[in-house]
Chain A
């Protein structure tokens, strides 16, 4: 029985976190969220600085959530999760920036009279 418990707690290391890891992830998320809201509502930053801050804070928070809530880590047994995640993020970024780039050019080259 002790052995069984040891096996299951070994699985816990990569499968799911602990109370501490959830609370740490939650606190980090709250700090980053407050940072995002403050960057806009605090009126202390210039517009371009706000845009950069929002982007950086969002990326950081996605990283925090993926690590602490989705429990994706660099562990070898999670390689397929990490690779598929990075690939999907890459595809999503290509779609977003590709669409913006093309539509920006459409606006410049075709709509201009």
Chain B
């Protein structure tokens, strides 16, 4: 508590302005990321159903049990929970609670890693059944879109681990807050992209 009040007193107006600028800069990066995903969704929508081989359509793989809606549901649950727990980490950080921040960050990272594990497992299954990125235009677009999201999650996890080390060694000070805030924006943003992925890639293909 006393640590927190000195932090607030020292940070002052100028520091706060600086923090807002770097967070807004990161926000603009996220917006460009949003446009990138818009392009990937557009190419997926166009190439969806453009098959060279009828045995590896989305529905054929579903009926074989290679793609299961349960997997998508678990992935969604893990990512949503991870977003919530990272929110708790941010609340702890704003209170200057170092151990609480670390604890919730570890929980978020484990949930995020669980999501990634499920996704990699699903990709391996798809590839084993002939749905490779090279097999046809639909699967190229699928792996590019879903894989780009997975890559973002991977980078988010690496970033989270780096910040956990920094929080553990340096504590939650005024220099850490903009970094944590940027990561929280990134992590919540990935959740938003995932909403579009499970709605428009998975669920729409099951209709």
Residues of A at the B interface (CB closer than 8 Å) are 1, 4-5, 7-8, 11-12, 15-19, 22-23, 25-26, 29-30, 33, 36-37, 39-41, 47, 50-51, 54-55, 57-58, 61-62, 65-66, 69-70, 80-81, 84-85, 87-89, 91-93, 95-96, 98-100, 103
Q: Is there an interface contact between A95 and B191, defined as CB atoms closer than 8 Å?
A: no
| Complex partner residue of B203 from A5, A40, A47, A84, CB under 8 angstroms | A40
Q: How far is the CA of A61 from the CA of B188 in the complex (A)?
A: 12
Instruction: Annotate B61-75 by CB proximity to A: 1 below 8 A, 0 otherwise.
Output: 000000001000100
| Complex partner residue of B46 from A18, A37, A100, CB under 8 angstroms | A100
A-B contact pairs, 11 of them (CB 8 A): A16-B94, A16-B181, A22-B84, A36-B198, A39-B203, A51-B207, A58-B195, A65-B191, A69-B83, A88-B34, A95-B38
Known contacts: A23-B84, A58-B199, A58-B200. The answer to whether A100 contacts B39 by CB under 8 A is no
Query: Could you say which residues of chain A place their CB within 8 Å of the CB of B81?
Result: 26
User: Number of B interface residues, CB 8 Å?
Assistant: 47
- Asked if B43 is at the interface of the complex by the 8 Å CB criterion, the answer is yes
Most A CB contacts (10 A, CB to CB) among B24, B37, B188 go to B188
Query: Could you say which residues of chain B place their CB within 8 Å of the CB of A55?
Result: 199
Q: How far is the CA of A65 from the CA of B84 in the complex (A)?
A: 10
Query: Could you say which residues of chain B place their CB within 8 Å of the CB of A12?
Result: 94
Query: Could you say which residues of chain B place their CB within 8 Å of the CB of A87?
Result: 31
| Among B85-93, B105-113, B123-131, B163-171, the stretch in contact with A | B85-93
Q: How far is the CA of A96 from the CA of B189 in the complex (A)?
A: 19
Query: Could you say which residues of chain A place their CB within 8 Å of the CB of B5?
Result: 1, 4-5
Q: Is there an interface contact between A7 and B8, defined as CB atoms closer than 8 Å?
A: yes
Closest partner residue, chain A, to B28 (CB atom): A84
Cβ-closest 9 pairs across A and B? A92-B38, A99-B42, A88-B31, A69-B188, A22-B87, A58-B199, A96-B42, A26-B84, A88-B34
| Complex partner residue of A8 from B8, B27, B42, B203, CB under 8 angstroms | B8
Q: Is there an interface contact between A54 and B200, defined as CB atoms closer than 8 Å?
A: yes
Could you tell me the distance in whole angstroms from the C-beta of A8 to the nearest C-beta in chain B?
5
Query: Could you say which residues of chain B place their CB within 8 Å of the CB of A58?
Result: 195-196, 199-200
Beyond the given pairs A19-B88, A99-B46, 5 more chain A to chain B contacts, judged by CB atoms under 8 angstroms and listed by A's residue number, are: A15-B181, A22-B84, A39-B203, A65-B83, A95-B39
Q: Is there an interface contact between B27 and A81, defined as CB atoms closer than 8 Å?
A: yes
| Complex partner residue of A91 from B38, B45, B87, CB under 8 angstroms | B38
Closest partner residue, chain B, to A80 (CB atom): B24
Q: Is there an interface contact between A70 and B43, defined as CB atoms closer than 8 Å?
A: no
